[in-house]
A and B are shown apart, each in its own frame.
Chain A
Amino acid sequence: MDPELSRWKDHLRGKGLLPAGLMAAMLAGSSARGWHDARSDFDVYLVTERPWSSESARAFTVPLEHSAVATESFYAGPRRWELSYWLDAQVGELIEKVSWQAFRGDLMAGDVLTAREETFLSRLGSVLVLEGEDWVRQRQSELHASAFRSFLVARSLGFADGCVEDALGQLESGSAEGATLAARQAFHHAVDALLEAKGEYGSAVQKWLPYRFKAAQPLHISFAEYWAVETMQSYDPADPVRWINEVLTLCQDISMKIEV
């Protein structure tokens, strides 16, 4: 094991935060991907068969058979650590929620998963394993085989469509400003769909979009092209309609390339 990961694991053990019967422990989020900065939290997911409890533990609820996910948090120096204790059964339920049968039942991602559930699944593919390599690889494989990717792609494309309609409606009513903002949102959603199609999830946190883009390396649009639109480099306040139409056309081009 990487010495730093081993050190982190020992640190958690030293604080009495690794439960007996631990099935897996994973560093997740930006710190797992090397995207973190000096102010970033360290997020750790732990998986057990039995619920975690302690005097310091708190919990959030999830719409699962066992409805609580215990959490612990502490500061190590300036860094905040956030630990979430998921049950193995809960993870199984999450993956079942995004089955192909569920997808074909015409459900939207937002109707199937809560934000925290989606975040957990979104991060599962890019964790750094502290414990339980076999468990993690098995669940990653199950997630990959599920319809999770398709759920997210379909949702992002749907959001993009809605923003395109907003932009066109704003143009028709004479509001170039409103149309500009709607076109920007449409573009973000279209790019999210493009990245999700390549297994790069995490659309809820926009600051990671450039990182996700570079990680995904999509074929249909270069980073330079994406960044030019993101920073509105060709936007002319005297002729905003041109930029708006170009961006909406680009959103359409992206939609044509992505398999849902």
Chain B
Amino acid sequence: MATPPPLPPDAVPARRLDTRIRRMDGQLILAFGETALALSESGALLYEHMDGRRTVGMLAAMLAKTYGLAEQDALADTGEFVDSLVENSLAEVRDSPT
């Protein structure tokens, strides 16, 4: 299967409102239907800030600053994270902010 192209920095990820969210033992857990995903600390940080207004680029910059990552690495990690959420119906990507 072909690897999907990386998300452009101006793409706007947003949480899906029908995602069920729980915080248990300090960890954020997302669920949709039968799918459940426990987020890492960095994943939770990204998810909490995916408000439908921040772009992938903005989220990556926040990640880079928080964890001392190189810009390109943060962008790649953010894109990969958002892709995994979209794949599991836990997020959507918009062309522009709401």
Which residues of A come within 8 Å of B, CB atoms? 154, 157, 161, 164-165, 168, 245, 248-249, 252, 255-260
Contact B17 A260 (CB under 8 A): no
Which residues on the A side are within 8 Å of B26 (C-beta)? 259
Least CB distance, A132 to chain B, in whole angstroms: 36
Contact A259 B23 (CB under 8 A): yes
Please name 18 pairs of A and B residues whose Cβ atoms are closer than 8 Å in the assembled complex, sorted by A.
Answer: A154-B22, A161-B20, A165-B18, A168-B17, A168-B18, A248-B17, A249-B17, A249-B52, A252-B21, A255-B21, A255-B22, A256-B21, A256-B23, A256-B47, A259-B25, A260-B22, A260-B23, A260-B24
Least CB distance, B37 to chain A, in whole angstroms: 14
**In this complex, what residue of B is CB-closest to A255?**
B21
**In this complex, what residue of B is CB-closest to A158?**
B20
Q: How far is the CA of A34 from the CA of B28 in the complex (A)?
A: 37
Q: How far is the CA of A256 from the CA of B21 in the complex (A)?
A: 6
The answer, among B17, B24, B25, for a CB contact under 8 Å with A252, is B17
Number of A-B contacts (CB under 8 A): 36
Q: How far is the CA of A192 from the CA of B19 in the complex (A)?
A: 19
Which residues on the B side are within 8 Å of A245 (C-beta)? 17
- For the complex of A and B, the 7 pairs showing the least CB-CB separation, nearest first, are A255-B21, A248-B17, A161-B20, A260-B24, A259-B23, A260-B22, A256-B21
Contact A256 B24 (CB under 8 A): no
Residues B29-46 near A (CB distance < 8 A): none
**In this complex, what residue of B is CB-closest to A186?**
B17
Q: How far is the CA of A259 from the CA of B47 in the complex (A)?
A: 16
**In this complex, what residue of A is CB-closest to B20?**
A161
Least CB distance, A245 to chain B, in whole angstroms: 7
The interface size bin for chain B is 10 to 19
Is B48 engaged at the interface, CB distance under 8 Å to the other chain?
yes
Q: How far is the CA of A248 from the CA of B52 in the complex (A)?
A: 13
Least CB distance, A79 to chain B, in whole angstroms: 43
Least CB distance, B38 to chain A, in whole angstroms: 13
Least CB distance, A103 to chain B, in whole angstroms: 11
Which residues on the A side are within 8 Å of B52 (C-beta)? 249
**In this complex, what residue of B is CB-closest to A171?**
B17
Q: How far is the CA of A252 from the CA of B17 in the complex (A)?
A: 7
Least CB distance, A191 to chain B, in whole angstroms: 15
Least CB distance, A163 to chain B, in whole angstroms: 12
Q: How far is the CA of A171 from the CA of B51 in the complex (A)?
A: 20
Which residues on the A side are within 8 Å of B15 (C-beta)? 249, 252
Q: How far is the CA of A190 from the CA of B58 in the complex (A)?
A: 29
Which residues on the B side are within 8 Å of A165 (C-beta)? 18
Which residues on the B side are within 8 Å of A259 (C-beta)? 23-26
